[in-house]
Amino acid sequence: MNRPVAANLNDDVGRGSVEEKGERLFNRELSWLAFNRRVLEEARNPRHPLLERLRFLSISGDNLDEFFMVRVAGLKGQQLADIEECSADGLTPSQQLAAIAEEADQLTGNQQEVWSQLKAALTQSGLEVLGNDDIDAASGDWLDRHFREQVFPVLTPQAIDPAHPFPFIPNKGFSLIFDLKRISDSVPISELLMIPGTLPRFIRLPGDGARYIAIETLIRRQIATLFPGYEILSQGAFRIIRDSDIEVEEEAEDLVRFFRSAIKRRRRGRVIRLELEAGMPGDLAQLVREGIDARHALISESTGFLGIGDLQLLVEEDRPDLKFPPYTPRFPERIREHGGDCFAAIRSKDIVVHHPYESFEVVVAFLKQAADDPDVVAIKQTLYRAGKQSAVIRALIDAAEAGKSVTAVVELKARFDEEQNLLWANALERAGVQVVYGFIEWKTHAKVSMVVRREERGYRTYCHFGTGNYHPVTARIYTDMSFFTADPRVGRDVAQLFNYITGYVEPRNLELLVMSPHYLRTTLSALIDQEIENVRQGKPGEIWAKMNSLVDPAIIDKLYEASQAGVEIELVVRGICCLRPGVSGMSENIRVKSILGRFLEHSRIWCFGNGDDLPNRNARVYISSADWMPRNFDRRVEYMLPVENPTVHAQILDQVMVANLIDNEQSWRLLPDGRYERLQPGEDKPFNLHRYFMTNPSLSGRGAALAHSGTVPKLRLRRGH
């Protein structure tokens, strides 16, 4: 169980203002660390197969690396610039860094404990990670040959002395350092050995069973080969994390050129974190700190495996008995009923598709059909993250080469995907696609596709809206919604959205679509106000919302206002939540849960009761690309779309939202003090929403999934449901 996120701050915290703000809001960064602790707890979950638990452990490691590369780097930059602006909860950058350092150290210690437990359990299951003392003679001979032939030629030891200054070590660089003396004359020397990222972190030994050895274990075993004629006096390992954020300069004249340059600069960013192997002698540790200029870095020592994220390589072992049973997504029934004709299916009725239970291939099929159809005249597409193997990109290229008008809005500011997006942009432009990079100061985060088709009665616009990215890999592990419609009102709105991005023509008189950065915040506030007014008029006031993060102070205050007015609020917030629920007189009518399981909950669904006494019939239901964060409201192009089709409305509200709210096998409840408590089914009937949607009819069928199975009744979404 993680500790209260506002605890253990420095003594110099200004108690009055911090306590006042801290009573209303949890700290954003510490709330994120609490989320990553929940990820780590899934690595302890005995209900998961062993390699899936190892996957959760590696994810917690990668998550923590990215947190330091971006969030901690930003705070460190503020601290070094003597910026004392407080966070929304009243903490200065220095106070936040002190709290982060303590919590992160405890988290990394827990990661090592979990790795030790999983390593022992995996050994019992026939998957071993060997230490040097575990190598038998035959395996030792094979490793000697492997090292000489496959590893030794790639390694470059470097002496550290006045003639050989400390070399540059890249972000996430893992290195060994040695103090040696020459046996012949006892001359001392320090040697650095950077382990190239091209070498696998683990080497699989031949023979029966799955036996691995870490690359650093193999190298240490071969010291005599690397440094013949030398004796080791001391040694250690270390790993660094660098500032990897890219801040776009408003005066940047050429975004493409700017990002190509910025990506190169990012590789040489300030060292933010230095992880040292426990027991490294003080003189070697000091040599490392000075060599990488770690004066301002957060420094930690680890007694176990450095680079927890690299354990993902072991998860790739072919052991289906140690993984979740394979799952093949269903192709939407509605499309099959129309012989695979996406346009005919969408013309007949709006369609909602629930990923990953229903295949992302339907989105690809939609674009492929548009590319091949001679009656399609134009395609417009936003691209935030598309992955390395993108059928979406291929479809857009095919459409352009077929002579269609194709526009792609490629977001260069998609963090850590900038380089890949530059490559896609080049490929699209070569094929004749009109590539647009959007706004300098805002990210285009909306996931929208638009196809214009010539039909008997004129042009018809078909639209796709996603709550997630056009990314074939994440679409298999993220839960998201896809919504297809040929509603002409939506088509007109989407045309304005694209014109805004490509030509800065601000939308006017939108009929259904709501956009940020202009209208989304005010619309959401007005919807909350309406629920407050419903209560004042003696009607029910209810809000049910699902998102990834809840951070925006103004929206949180509006939710507090609604709670105090008597509005019942149920929130499913997977990650960061700065709202403090269940506080008497402030938020006693707000309940917050977080769901973590086989799939990553990613869809954004917002529902408002609308003062209706009937079971959910007239509630307002929206899907969106946005979370409730300042950046989504004020610095990104996002969409919010009402769902009016009765069937789709019921599918999203009565099926997806209800299933999220009644899940009790993968859910954590946020307590008023900031701790998260895992729900226990107890006497209630156990319900796992991921398992349910994997084993029941698809949403895109005839809208009878839950009613058909009887597993989840049609429920009124109120307190005590």
Backbone phi and psi for residue 665, each to the nearest 5 degrees, phi listed first: -105, -20
* Residues 226, 176: Cα–Cα separation, whole Å: 12
The closest alpha carbon to 240, from 170, 291, 165, belongs to 170
Backbone phi and psi for residue 439, each to the nearest 5 degrees, phi listed first: -90, 150
Output the CA–CA distances (angstroms, integers) from residue 125 to 55, 170, 192, 452, 571, in the order listed: 16, 36, 37, 55, 40
445 has catalytic annotation: yes
| Six-digit token string for 698 | 């698809």
Residue pair 69/243 in contact (Cβ under 8 Å)? The answer is yes
Measured CA angle at 430 (ends 397, 449), to 5 deg = 35
* Residues 624, 631: Cα–Cα separation, whole Å: 14
Of these residues, 48, 355, 445, 649, which one is catalytic? 445
The closest alpha carbon to 603, from 522, 663, 525, 547, belongs to 547
Please provide the size of the chain in residues: 721
Rg (CA), the chain: 27
Residue pair 176/219 in contact (Cβ under 8 Å)? The answer is yes
For 159-219, the DSSP string reads E-BTTBPPPP--TT-EEEEEEEEETTT--EEEEEEE--TTS-SEEEPSSSSEEEEEHHHHH
| Six-digit token string for 190 | 């320090």
Give kind and range of the element (H or E) at residue 299.
strand 298-302
Across the chain, which distance is largest between two alpha carbons, in Å?
Answer: 93
Q: Is the dihedral of CA 696, 646, 474, 397 positive or negative?
A: positive
Scanning the structure block, which residue is given the tokens 């200004």? Answer: 14
| Six-digit token string for 336 | 């099959």
Backbone phi and psi for residue 495, each to the nearest 5 degrees, phi listed first: -60, -40
* Residues 698, 656: Cα–Cα separation, whole Å: 11
The closest alpha carbon to 395, from 381, 409, 384, 385, belongs to 381
Beta 230-242 vs 158-159: how paired, if at all?
unpaired
Please list the active-site residues. Answer: 445
